[in-house]
Amino acid sequence: MIDIVLGGSSAQVLTIKIGRQLKIPTILPEIKKFPDGEKYIRITEDVNGKTVAIIQSFYHQPDEFLIEYFLIADTLKDLGAKKVIGVIPYFAYARQDERFKPGEAISFKIVTKLIEEVGTDEIYTIDTHLHRVEQLSEIFHIPAHNLTAVPLLAQYVKKNFELNNPVVIGPDEEAEQWAKIAAKELEAEYDILEKERLGPSEVRIKTRELDVTGKDVLIVDDIISTGGTMVEAIKMLKEHGAKSVIAACTHPILVRNALTRIYQAGALAVIGTDTVPSSISFISVAPIIAEALRRG
């Protein structure tokens, strides 16, 4: 059973929500920067003999939030915490899971190793961007759980939009896992988009099987970063007769003008969660994190 939830600077509001769900104390440590940019961390509550969950998301400034996590986790163990559980809603560095060119750092393996070495006993993430690694347990040597927020996204869409004969689309093959989950929630069919190469520089994007003509489409992915994938997918779906297109993701990174470009492409709405706080973070992942921590 979790005794305390502790919020790093990237997830303090989310931490408070989780603490309220679990009805347990919340710690917000003292976090400052020295003039040279170094982080100062001070945990002001007694954690001796306690099981503490650190809530820290690695978005936008992953290096800074990682260092902060390392300082917090090691300090908790040094202060006598019985168990340290890392809850990382958005897990950065998962893309580089093998060496593609000579000399490359395999970032995923390095980051997971460091998380373990600072004293983390168990880890929870949400919709981690896994490629060749199918399960977190393949790379972590501690208990590791990859939760999903996709049912919450689908439930939000179902509640807030009138969908006529909806279909769910994954923008690529990797997104099929999320499209399948969302389709189950909406009791709808799902498909993915495929690229068909027509020539050296010409590519056509199309659905694998489904006809979207006259249908309301929910296109779902784990991350929207630059928005390029979503923009092309929405344009294609509209060109093929989709009545409306709603874009949803777990992690709304939304760099530069991504959100504007997605709406310009024809999206009816764009929806995300608070793994990354943003203007479209309409859904909180606090309930699924709290439930997972409660189950242990």
- List, in order, residues 6 or more apart from 146 with CB less than 8 Å away: 125, 126, 127, 128, 130, 135, 136
195 is catalytic: yes
Residue among 113, 195, 238, 243 flagged as catalytic: 195
Q: Three-state SS string across 253-287, please?
A: CCCCCHHHHHHHCCCCEEEEECCCCCCCEEECCHH
The sign of the torsion formed by the CA atoms of 109, 112, 117, 121 equals negative
- List, in order, residues 6 or more apart from 105 with CB less than 8 Å away: 96
Rounded-to-integer distance, Cα 231 and Cα 218, Å: 14
Q: Three-state SS string across 83-102, please?
A: EEEEEECCCCCCCCCCCCCC
Among 173, 18, 29, 176, smallest CA distance to 89 is for: 18
Rounded-to-integer distance, Cα 28 and Cα 39, Å: 15
CB atoms within 10 A of CB 94: 23
Q: Which pair of structure tokens corresponds to residue 135?
A: 């399960």
CB atoms within 10 A of CB 269: 18
Active site residues: 195
